[in-house]
Amino acid sequence: MNEGLRTAPEPLASEARAWIQPLTDAAGASFRALYLYGSALAPDFDKARGNVNLLFVADDLSAGALSNLAAAVTKVKAQKASWRFAPLVLDEEQVRRAADVFPNDFLDLVRRRSLLAGTDLLSASEVDAEHMRFQCEYELRARLVGLRQAFLFHAGDAARSREILASAAQGTSALYRHLLSLAGEPPAEDRDGLARAVAARFQVSADALKAPWEARAEKIASADAPARLGAYLDALSSLARAVDVYANR
């Protein structure tokens, strides 16, 4: 799907290539591709808080090859960087054949990626809707389990409630994009647009869906945090039920 290719902004693209260059050199002829993907390509990316996701693909990740690459990883980690790079290393076979196991992760790559070096191995990738539904429901219900536990033990503490909400911001944009893709709708680029679109499509509160981001940005007063956390949990529960219905469609 070539329509998913984006141009990564500078100087981010150049710094990403330079930062991971020791690994590229160590891979040698086995190197296949380097992608930048995810929220770093969004217009409202927060450099101070967000990770820059990189996908490094090599043909050979056998034990012997990994041993050679490990020395290069030490060099990569020793470098100073002005961005919070988060590299994922896969072999070519995984990239070509694992979309059924990690559908939403591959959907992010297929729909929004920048090829920084190598060959675009994802141009022909397809993600099955039923596989997406399973992972969306899993992510929603897993969040509910963890956040409900935290609510039970800490919701009486207003400051702790805001911390719980803020911690839920990680991965929220991706989850909302996946839900919209499952519903056959194009995801918005900005966070507010994502929350509004998911709320409209699944009949939940947009204010509840935005709560994790607002808590992380310290836009929610501690006194209001327990109620906002409760509303967010109710919204997640509604989303999980809605996604479960897709099994019968």
| CA contacts within 13 A on the Cβ side of 20 | 28
Residue 17: band (very low, low, confident or very high) from pLDDT cuts 50, 70, 90: very high
What does the alpha-carbon distance between residue 2 and residue 232 come to, in Å, rounded to a whole number? Answer: 36
Min mean pLDDT across 16-20, 39-43, 82-86, 103-107 is at 103-107
Q: What's the confidence (pLDDT) of residue 230? A: 94
Share of the chain above pLDDT 90, in %: 54
Q: Which range among 47-51, 68-72, 169-173, 219-223 shows the weakest confidence by mean pLDDT?
A: 47-51
The CA distance from 7 to 15, in Å, is: 14
pLDDT band at 195 (very low <50, low <70, confident <90, very high): very high
Sequence ranges of the domains in the chain: 2-118, 129-248
DSSP of 91-158: EHHHHHH-TTTSHHHHHHHHHSEEEEEE--TTTT----HHHHHHHHHHHHHHHHHHHHHHHHHHTT-H
The tens digit of pLDDT for each residue in 38-60 reads: 888 887 788 877 889 999 999 99
pLDDT at res. 155: 66
Residue 155 has a CB neighbour count (10 Å cut-off) of 18
Superfamily designation of domain 2-118: Beta Polymerase, domain 2 (3.30.460.10)
| Cβ–Cβ under 8 Å, residues 82 and 50 | no
The confidence band for 168, taking pLDDT boundaries of 50, 70 and 90, is very high
Triad 38, 174, 126: Cα angle to 5°: 75
* Residue 216 to residue 225: CA distance in whole angstroms: 11
Between vectors from CA 196 to CA 237 and to CA 129, what angle results, nearest 5°? 60
Give kind and range of the element (H or E) at residue 58. strand 52-58
| Helix (H/G/I), strand (E/B), else coil: 246 | helix
pLDDT value for 129: 76
Q: Output the pTM of the full model.
A: 0.66
